Chains A and B, each alone.
Chain A
């Protein structure tokens, strides 16, 4: 993968890690808006549709500036609705950027996720055009500036027989057809947006489209309050015979203007084109990832057809097929072109029959056995199982707090037998440090692991395991403090327990079989 992308990834991880930690402390992970950026965009869309339909009732293509100006003068049913419409469009951009940044930082753009990446870029493009047409609708000095710049770009392309720019030279009044077309695009694009959003989440099982209600309403309420308390004013009407020094602009939709303004349209196309091309190529440049992140595979000789991996896979990549060898009715099969190699299924399968190569439950048990066999092990110590992307960042602090750090690819991949084996191998306690649920780069890892540990979700932590020795906590990449606190808490709660005797004979196969036998087939 190109070094630039890696650099952006690293920087994004550091930035988001710190920002997430800060906002988690303020609002708790459940209501952290940074984790909800994708769903917040959807909330903004909904607010835009609601306010937009209302504004549409008052807009006149025959008198654009005049009609918006009358609306703006009305404090009850006009001004704040217009304000909310504008601020929600700004919110949509801010949230989109955060959402995309998180996807980059978490390396979520290659393989089957490329569809979400590409459709995400289309969504951004559509949103920017939507904003552009929206501001042109007002036909104030800002709208005119955008229109003139847009016309300059369009006229550089050899597609239109009559230059668009002619409409704005002052030769004659701007044709009503122009405002009609602009309005049409502004109203029609949201439909396209909805369609692309559907494609965007089409590879996901159970896509989360809305944030917690409280968060969504708080955000809309905040924007409404600002719209009321800081009313919008009307900018001067567009004038072809005057070139204002300043316009009151929306930087989220006109950020490119200072760059494009001074250069020939062809260069602007070239520059913009290169940026877009670079973004489009990101998934393609990352195709080599498959070599290190192979698709999951099912060992059909182990699969009991329990459907659990099918239910848990966050990407709907597992099919249950009919089976004819008398072992069970069905057998799981992974569709490699849908599998992102998240490894969640490895934790779902009690008999350990599925998972990406080298990351299945059986591989995890091998690993923990090697770990327990190390001469460095001390009976009674706390083992902190840390997600590579999350709490592992605080590895040194955890060690300083007296925990042994046991890194895993994703806490959601964790087979509960690993916990059991660690405790039977002499660990005083096992702390699973997962990322906060909405931050999981595999979407549903912490949720399923939590349910397996605490709520008997299939492939559950066996009841014979002493629950006092097991804890699960959430800590994102910037939350070393929280991670260390969780270690201290577990240490305190096991302090009174006797130091466990390591099991002399840790028979991997026996454990697998007892686990499997405990499952209904």
Chain B
């Protein structure tokens, strides 16, 4: 081969190799091979506390280190929830979800994706606190101040604690939420059922129609 020819071949090979590499850096790749529409259930919510509370006496309180003193002491656990979905009356999901963390006291994260055939469907999503026993259910604290005189060193504490417990209960997800909705599932579309914290209810969200 003459020198010219070698140079030409060298240039051709270099360009071809570069184009090959560049081509592979911007090539179509199958992202979701399955085109079935998806019903996505995704939300997080604070589980309800199921607890029994008891008012400590002054003597009991005095035994507790100062920075840990709480007039009303509660013991209990976070509720778990039954999540069920039916599509056109047929059950599609039925599962128990609990809060995150070792003691299940962190928020409940729901993330499920269910395939639904393309077309019109009636979907029912239920999120319901599981049954609690009679024994667990009680536990309100009697009396305005938990039956304790207001003149002790814990004066005013009990109402504040009660308020705090109420607030926490208010943040918790309602004991029952149910969403019944008609969807029209298009190929490759994702329909999201999520928890709307302002409306305290499950809602359906889909792709903005303009897109």
Q: Which residues of A contact B206 (CB under 8 A)?
A: 241
Known: A243-B32, A244-B32. A250 touches B25 (CB 8 A): yes
Which of these binds chain B: A159-167, A342-350, A395-403, A491-499? Answer: A159-167
Q: Find out whether the CB atom of A170 lies under 8 angstroms from the CB atom of B40.
A: yes
Which A217-242 residues have C-beta < 8 A from chain B?
A: 218, 222-223, 226, 230, 232, 239-242
Q: Find out whether the CB atom of A86 lies under 8 angstroms from the CB atom of B29.
A: no
The prevalent SS among residues of B at the interface is: mixed
**A to B CB contacts below 8 Å, 15 in the list:** A87-B21, A91-B21, A141-B31, A162-B44, A166-B42, A171-B43, A230-B22, A232-B26, A240-B190, A240-B192, A241-B189, A244-B32, A245-B31, A249-B26, A252-B25
Q: Find out whether the CB atom of A242 lies under 8 angstroms from the CB atom of B26.
A: no
Q: Find out whether the CB atom of B35 lies under 8 angstroms from the CB atom of A170.
A: no
Q: Find out whether the CB atom of B190 lies under 8 angstroms from the CB atom of A241.
A: yes
Q: Find out whether the CB atom of B192 lies under 8 angstroms from the CB atom of A170.
A: yes
Q: How far is the CA of A163 from the CA of B101 in the complex (A)?
A: 12
Q: Which residues of A contact B188 (CB under 8 A)?
A: 242-245
Residue of B nearest to A141 (CB): B31
Contacts from A to B (Cβ < 8 Å): 23, 25-27, 86-87, 89-91, 94, 141-142, 145, 161-163, 165-166, 169-171, 218, 222-223, 226, 230, 232, 239-252, 254, 257-258, 261-262
Residue of A nearest to B34 (CB): A243
Q: How far is the CA of A26 from the CA of B30 in the complex (A)?
A: 37
User: Which of B6, B106, B111 makes the CB contact (< 8 A) with A165?
Assistant: B111
Known: A222-B18, A239-B207, A252-B24. A170 touches B30 (CB 8 A): no
Q: Find out whether the CB atom of B211 lies under 8 angstroms from the CB atom of A248.
A: no
Q: How far is the CA of A378 from the CA of B18 in the complex (A)?
A: 52
Known: A87-B21, A141-B31, A246-B30. A222 touches B14 (CB 8 A): yes
Q: Which residues of A contact B44 (CB under 8 A)?
A: 162, 166
Q: How far is the CA of A166 from the CA of B15 in the complex (A)?
A: 44
Q: Which residues of B contact A141 (CB under 8 A)?
A: 31
Q: Find out whether the CB atom of A258 lies under 8 angstroms from the CB atom of B25.
A: no
Which B34-69 residues have C-beta < 8 A from chain A?
A: 35, 38, 40, 42-44
Q: Find out whether the CB atom of B21 lies under 8 angstroms from the CB atom of A246.
A: no
Q: Which residues of A contact B111 (CB under 8 A)?
A: 163, 165-166, 169
Known: A166-B111, A171-B194, A244-B32. A251 touches B25 (CB 8 A): yes
Q: How far is the CA of A246 from the CA of B30 in the complex (A)?
A: 4
Q: How far is the CA of A205 from the CA of B26 in the complex (A)?
A: 39
Annotate B84-114 by CB proximity to A: 1 below 8 A, 0 otherwise.
0000000000000000110000110101000
Q: Find out whether the CB atom of B192 lies under 8 angstroms from the CB atom of A246.
A: no
Q: Find out whether the CB atom of B22 lies under 8 angstroms from the CB atom of A249.
A: no
Q: Which residues of B contact A262 (CB under 8 A)?
A: 33
Q: How close is B45's CB to chain A, nearest CB, in angstroms? A: 11
B10 within 8 Å of A (CB atoms): yes
B28 within 8 Å of A (CB atoms): yes
Q: Find out whether the CB atom of B24 lies under 8 angstroms from the CB atom of A90.
A: yes
Q: Which residues of A contact B154 (CB under 8 A)?
A: none
Q: Find out whether the CB atom of B21 lies under 8 angstroms from the CB atom of A94.
A: yes
B13 within 8 Å of A (CB atoms): yes
Known: A26-B10, A226-B19, A239-B207. A248 touches B189 (CB 8 A): no
Known: A163-B109, A241-B190. A222 touches B15 (CB 8 A): yes
Residue of A nearest to B190 (CB): A241
B27 within 8 Å of A (CB atoms): yes
B205 within 8 Å of A (CB atoms): yes
Residue of B nearest to A168 (CB): B42
Q: Which residues of A contact B28 (CB under 8 A)?
A: 246-249
B155 within 8 Å of A (CB atoms): no
Q: Find out whether the CB atom of B22 lies under 8 angstroms from the CB atom of A90.
A: yes
Q: How close is A53's CB to chain B, nearest CB, in angstroms? A: 21
Q: Find out whether the CB atom of B15 lies under 8 angstroms from the CB atom of A248.
A: no
Given contacts A169-B42, A171-B43, A243-B35, 20 further A-B contacts (CB under 8 A): A26-B13, A86-B26, A94-B21, A163-B109, A163-B111, A165-B111, A170-B194, A218-B14, A223-B18, A223-B22, A230-B22, A242-B189, A242-B190, A243-B31, A245-B33, A246-B29, A248-B28, A248-B29, A251-B25, A257-B31
Q: How close is B181's CB to chain A, nearest CB, in angstroms? A: 15
Residue of B nearest to A235 (CB): B26
Q: How far is the CA of A249 from the CA of B26 in the complex (A)?
A: 5
B9 within 8 Å of A (CB atoms): yes
Q: Which residues of B contact A250 (CB under 8 A)?
A: 24-26
Closest 8 pairs (CB-CB, A-B) = A249-B29, A241-B207, A169-B42, A90-B25, A26-B10, A243-B32, A246-B28, A247-B31
Q: Which residues of B contact A257 (CB under 8 A)?
A: 29, 31
Q: How far is the CA of A218 from the CA of B28 in the complex (A)?
A: 28
Known: A87-B21, A90-B24, A163-B111. A246 touches B9 (CB 8 A): no
Q: Find out whether the CB atom of B18 lies under 8 angstroms from the CB atom of A226.
A: yes
Q: How far is the CA of A241 from the CA of B185 in the complex (A)?
A: 11
Q: How far is the CA of A483 from the CA of B207 in the complex (A)?
A: 68
Q: How far is the CA of A145 from the CA of B31 in the complex (A)?
A: 7
Residue of A nearest to B195 (CB): A171
User: Which of B15, B27, B106, B205 makes the CB contact (< 8 A) with A161?
Assistant: B106
Which B153-211 residues have C-beta < 8 A from chain A?
A: 188-192, 194, 205-208, 211
Q: How far is the CA of A249 from the CA of B32 in the complex (A)?
A: 13
Q: Which residues of A contact B38 (CB under 8 A)?
A: 243
Q: How close is B131's CB to chain A, nearest CB, in angstroms? A: 28
Q: How far is the CA of A27 from the CA of B12 in the complex (A)?
A: 12
Q: Which residues of B contact A241 (CB under 8 A)?
A: 189-192, 205-208, 211
Q: How far is the CA of A261 from the CA of B29 in the complex (A)?
A: 12
Q: Find out whether the CB atom of B190 lies under 8 angstroms from the CB atom of A246.
A: no
Q: How far is the CA of A54 from the CA of B22 in the complex (A)?
A: 21
Q: Which residues of B contact A258 (CB under 8 A)?
A: 29-30
Q: Which residues of A contact B18 (CB under 8 A)?
A: 87, 222-223, 226
Q: Find out whether the CB atom of A249 lies under 8 angstroms from the CB atom of B27.
A: yes
Q: How far is the CA of A261 from the CA of B34 in the complex (A)?
A: 11
Q: How close is A413's CB to chain B, nearest CB, in angstroms? A: 33
Q: How close is B99's CB to chain A, nearest CB, in angstroms? A: 11
Q: How far is the CA of A171 from the CA of B30 in the complex (A)?
A: 25
Select the residue from A89, A170, A223, A244 with max chain B CB neighbours within 10 A. Answer: A170
Q: How close is B200's CB to chain A, nearest CB, in angstroms? A: 15
Q: How far is the CA of A209 from the CA of B156 in the complex (A)?
A: 73
Residue of A nearest to B192 (CB): A170
Q: How far is the CA of A145 from the CA of B29 in the complex (A)?
A: 11
Q: Which residues of A contact B35 (CB under 8 A)?
A: 243, 245
Q: Which residues of B contact A245 (CB under 8 A)?
A: 30-33, 35, 188
Q: How far is the CA of A87 from the CA of B24 in the complex (A)?
A: 10
